Chains A and B, each alone.
Chain A
Amino acid sequence: MSETHKTEIDKITGVETTGHEWDGLKELNNPLPRWWLYSFYACILWAIGYWVIYPAWPLVSGYTTGVMGYSQRADAIADYEAGMAERAVTGAKLVDASFEDIRTTPELLEFANANGAAAFGDNCAPCHGSGATGSKGYPNLQDDNWLWGGTIDQIYQTIEFGIRSGHDEAHIGDMPAFGRDELLTKEQIDQVANFVASKTGLETDAGADLEAGATVYADNCAACHGEDLKGMQEMGAPNLTAATFLYGKSLAAIKSQVTNPHNGVMPSWEGRLDPATIKSLAVYVHSFGGGQ
């Protein structure tokens, strides 16, 4: 090789060239500054030190752990535990605070909303939807139509004990199965369904006997749903004049619900979620805008 690599000295600068030529331009082989080269060596030493101290090289089943025993996973877990400990402190304050205190204390309100949003996504969204708008049979929590009451205390109670959940304190109040249990005849059911439809802005069947329906309503329904059809939250009886119905707003749906009603279940979350989280959920759900 030494024969072919004959050193050439550039005439003007007196500096050796690399022997490479591009379009008549030759590159001078100027040496690096000393500090530059030493910085480069220092970087190599740094890298070696890094390999010794920190996890660096992958092995067949594992990796070099480094003398410090550093682990990002352990760091992350420690961070997580620190975060949970911090959360427990604010959570304890939340449990002790009244809803009015929470509303007027930005720190607690912010915590409750953030905690509530996370818990809602994990526990409530499967039925009520990620946007809390519900679907047929699962109430919309965004609107102002509350079956069991929309104050923050009522929402809290509903979340804690549930509806027809089997818990001693749960809301109970079944819609009787007027058709299935033969409490009303099919004709009477048609009459009362048409009566309700006429009161809530729906089309009625042609030739429906609304007066007979009114009588059936007064005798069988008014006790819970009220003379004015506005419902009764103590019984969980829905407002029959509302724009939205839980099981669908149509004459057929009303007939079906009188004949063989759905009586939906909301689980009790007491014991399944910690008290701070249940309280957070009540605050969060109330904040959607429909809360009273």
Chain B
Amino acid sequence: MSADTEHGHGGEPEEWFASAKKIYPMAVHGLFRKIKWTLLFITLGIYYFLPFIRFDRGPNAPDQAVLVDLTGRRAYFFFIEIWPQEVYYLTGLLILAAVALFLMNAVAGRIWCGYLCPQTVWTDLFLFIERKVEGDRRERIAFDKEPWTGKKIAKRATKHFLWLMIAWWTGGAWVLYFADAPTLVTELATFQAPWSAYIWIGILTSTTYLLAGFMREQVCIYMCPWPRIQAALTDEKALNVTYRWDRGEPRGSLKHNKQLEAEGLPAGDCVDCAQCFHACPTGVDIRKGLQLDCIQCGLCIDACDTVMTKVGKPTGLIGYDTDENIQRRIEGKDPIYSIVRPRTIIYAAVIVAVGLTMLTALLTRDFAGINALHDRNPIYVIQTDGSIRNGYSVRLLNKRTHTRHFMLHVEGMPQGTKVEAVGVDTTFADRPIIEIGPDQTRELRVLVTSPAGVKMPESTPIVFRLTESVMGEVVTAKDFFKAP
């Protein structure tokens, strides 16, 4: 790296770019590797198979548990069905996601980056394949330098083929969230699926292949905003993957440090074996401290612990720790872990508040709806007998998956007022009975006529009251009745 940048301004052309240094992460074994594998199986398992899970909603709704029906303008999540005008639930989810990210960060740093981010998970999977085909770190470095023989071509082809298969399946699973999965799979296989499905599969296949196969840590370092935000949000009490330099320094080879000890000189536990940064998927040296490039996946902890065990020293030279604790150890105090502190309490409280608000809104929401819009021109019409007629565009919603009947009543008008819904012939006690199909809206023109001989004021506040026939669910809309 440094060789590229040491060109001065003096005459010699400067390099305009730095080629990314290729990183060959080494395989490690240990607790954090196990956690990462487990989370990889869970998250990818959810992603790839969730569209196939069925959920019975009755005859007039899809039976796919998670479905975003863009043409039908509905989103389904198990027992929840969202209409387009309820998209604010998505806002709530995004707020929850953001605050959850802050909370994770306040507790234990970049948990999201290290274990859960799709970029990390897919890169991990791609690296696994690379390792299985081309070997571990040393073999891969050597393999890259090998001349192009038939064997090398075969291995490379195998790797890219496997990568492309995973990428293709990733893109394929994505489109299954937007249509009935089993049907779409059949259509895709028989080349009868809509062209947009193939295009989206193509786009996501190429992004997965490029981002997980080639861009890898470049995405985290250059493209993602979270490392910048995270650096501003962390504090001295947050757990982060930390090199305990108070214990490790001065570093030196095992032999050298033993000699120092024998001479009574200070010697650290770090044997400078380079395993920590060889294992790192973003190529950072954790011993330089917390840095933007570090996604805090904990693999250096596993690498270091393995070495420490081998050389007979206590593990945990690299571990989840806080800045504060290093300082305390230097001062000879016991480390303290304050996960519960004002910052985490506030984040948790915000999560609970937003979550409860959303839940309340969800549980108490109406399954019917009414909107009324007064005619703008004319505002009123005088009839032959002197009575006044007002017209309204009324939109009615039935969010249940069966046909329902509603009675429309107008409150606030004098006795003898006539309410007609154009096209609706059924009435009960002179009130229109309106049928609305399953999961549908119906727009009606409603005419309200004051009784002849009653002098109406210039403006009368009225309420459209819609009552469901079986359960008696009531929704209302306010408007005005206008007269000269």
Q: Is the CB of A7 within 8 A of B9?
A: yes
Residue B364 at the chain A interface, CB threshold 8 Å: no
Q: Is the CB of B384 within 8 A of A244?
A: yes
Stretch from A126-134, A212-220, A255-263 contacting the other chain: A126-134
Q: Is the CB of B222 within 8 A of A16?
A: no
Q: Is the CB of A37 within 8 A of B378?
A: no
Residue A5 at the chain B interface, CB threshold 8 Å: yes
| Interface size in chain A (residues, C-beta < 8 A) | 36
Q: Is the CB of B378 within 8 A of A243?
A: no
Q: Is the CB of B391 within 8 A of A35?
A: no
CB neighbours of A7 from chain B (8 A): 8-10
User: A36-B222, A37-B17, A131-B378 known; A143 and B383 CB under 8 Å?
Assistant: yes
CB neighbours of B447 from chain A (8 A): 289
Q: Is the CB of A243 within 8 A of B384?
A: yes
Q: Is the CB of B9 within 8 A of A33?
A: no
Partner of B20, one of A5, A33, A131, A243: A33
Q: Is the CB of A16 within 8 A of B382?
A: no
Q: How many angstroms between the C-alpha atoms of A16 and B383 in the bound complex?
A: 87
Name the residue on A nearest B221 (C-beta): A33
CB neighbours of B420 from chain A (8 A): 289
Task: For chain B, give the interface size range.
Answer: 20 to 34
Residue B350 at the chain A interface, CB threshold 8 Å: no
Q: How many angstroms between the C-alpha atoms of A29 and B14 in the bound complex?
A: 11
* Smallest CB separation, A10 vs chain B (Å): 10
Q: Is the CB of B16 within 8 A of A37?
A: yes
* Smallest CB separation, B448 vs chain A (Å): 10
CB neighbours of A37 from chain B (8 A): 16-17
| Contact residues, B204-219 vs A (CB, 8 A) | 215, 218
Q: How many angstroms between the C-alpha atoms of A37 and B18 in the bound complex?
A: 9
* Smallest CB separation, A101 vs chain B (Å): 14
Q: Is the CB of B384 within 8 A of A33?
A: no
Q: How many angstroms between the C-alpha atoms of A30 and B17 in the bound complex?
A: 9
Partner of A2, one of B10, B376, B377, B389: B10
B376-399 vs A, Cβ < 8 Å mask (1 yes, 0 no): 111001111110010100000000
* Smallest CB separation, B372 vs chain A (Å): 16
A residues whose Cβ falls under 8 Å from a Cβ of B: 2, 5, 7, 9, 14-16, 29-38, 103, 129-133, 140, 142-145, 239, 242-244, 287-290
5 contacts between A and B (CB under 8 A): A16-B8, A32-B18, A33-B19, A34-B17, A289-B391
Closest 6 CB pairs of A and B: A131-B377, A243-B386, A7-B8, A31-B18, A242-B384, A142-B381
A14-B2, A145-B383 known; 19 new pairs, CB 8 Å cut-off, are A2-B10, A9-B6, A15-B2, A30-B5, A31-B18, A32-B16, A33-B19, A35-B215, A103-B423, A130-B377, A131-B378, A133-B378, A143-B381, A143-B382, A143-B384, A144-B384, A243-B386, A244-B382, A290-B381
